[in-house]
Structure 1
Amino acid sequence: MTEPKPSIVLVEPEIPGNTGAVGRTCVALDMELVLIHPLGFDISDKRVKRSGLDYWQHIRLVEFASWHAFLAERSPRTDQLFLFEEFAETSFYDPDYPDDAYLVFGKETTGIPAHIVEAHAERLVKLPMRSSQIRSLNLANTVAAAAYQALRGKL
């Protein structure tokens, strides 16, 4: 039996370079990359692979046609899900992340779709910002910060 590992879930990502950079982070941390369609680009787009550099071939990539398809196949426990949204009240420093956590991020322009947020409102977390001049970080930066926090003490 293989040991449980966390996954990064990108729901409807729009920018190929961000997805490539997230994939590179996944390789570095031995995390699975889950993409929820529709994507705002073709996964074979060379901009995705350029951002992932020559690491793209090592990504454990899984794609699902929709959020519902992901839920149906994976059946995640409630305690596995962590949805990252700028308006969440809980800091991403607070939870204890299980070894098989799903760190969920939405599209760059609008975040996680409302129907997903509403269904999992108790699982929302945010990266705290010290400055009121900014709402959020770039998706790839947010994913990297979240992934390292989720693996804190486990690396």
Structure 2
Amino acid sequence: MSLPRMKIVLVTPEIPWNTGAIGRTCVALNLELILIKPLGFSLDEKSVRRAGTDYWKHVNLTQYESWDDFLEIRKPERDALYFFEEHGQQSLYEPEYDPDGYLIFGCESAGLPRSLLDGMEDRVFHLPMLSEKVRSLNLANVATAVIFQAMKPQLGG
């Protein structure tokens, strides 16, 4: 099996436990974790390491000062960008994911900034929920569900 090349992007994450848990998933699947600043915590915090347990030192981590910095340096293809928001037009089950794609998630309190999504409506996806009683799900849980769906072909699914 070839090594996965998909990347996970967290834009201004606020909760260290979520970032730690997502980092642990990235280690399990050999994925790069990209963090877009500002962060709502220090990466030195015990809570990030605790959530990632002793795996945090193995996270393939890259940080960028801003979204514009990320775009300028990485120059990702538009069709390789997958934004995830609770109000996305399409389900996460619809796209055929680019194995070099970027799975992009916003901060816990506000999601992705509107400025990132303008003109990208066809690239915004949601995780379906059956109950109207739940407004949103935990970022780490959503990211894990998305990652495994996006990587299904690479994982033998």
Q: Name the TM-score, length of structure 1 as normaliser.
A: 0.96
Q: Identity of aligned pairs, percent?
A: 49
Cα distance in 1 for partners of 2:22, 2:59 equals 10
Structure 2: tracts of 5 or more residues without a match: none
Residues 31-88 of structure 1 deviation map (CA, whole Å, 9 limit, x = unaligned): 1000000000011111000000000111000000000000001111011100000011
| AA in 1 matched with 2:38 | P
Q: Which runs of 4+ in 1 moved over 3 A?
A: none
Stretch moving more, 128-137 or 138-147: 128-137
The answer on whether the counterparts of 2:37 and 2:65 sit within 8 Å (CA) in structure 1 is yes
Cα distance in 2 for partners of 1:21, 1:73 equals 26
| AA in 1 matched with 2:25 | T
- Residues 17 and 3 from structure 1, CA distance in 2 versus in 1: closer, same or farther, beyond 3 angstroms? closer
What's the CA shift for 1:119? 4.0
What's the CA shift for 1:135? 2.2
The answer on whether the counterparts of 1:12 and 1:35 sit within 8 Å (CA) in structure 2 is yes
- Residues 85 and 98 from structure 1, CA distance in 2 versus in 1: closer, same or farther, beyond 3 angstroms? same
Which residue of structure 2 aligns with residue 78 of structure 1? 78
| AA in 1 matched with 2:109 | T
The answer on whether the counterparts of 1:129 and 1:135 sit within 8 Å (CA) in structure 2 is no
Cα distance in 1 for partners of 2:126, 2:81 equals 13
Which residue of structure 2 aligns with residue 47 of structure 1? 47
Which residue of structure 2 aligns with residue 69 of structure 1? 69
Query: Aligned ranges for residues 81-92 of structure 1 at < 5 Å?
Result: 81-92=81-92
Which residue of structure 2 aligns with residue 147 of structure 1? 147
What is the DSSP-based 3-state SS (H/G/I as helix, E as strand, rest coil) of the residue aligned with 1:24? helix
Structure 1: tracts of 5 or more residues without a match: none
- Residues 33 and 85 from structure 1, CA distance in 2 versus in 1: closer, same or farther, beyond 3 angstroms? same
Cα distance in 2 for partners of 1:108, 1:77 equals 26
What is the DSSP-based 3-state SS (H/G/I as helix, E as strand, rest coil) of the residue aligned with 1:136? coil
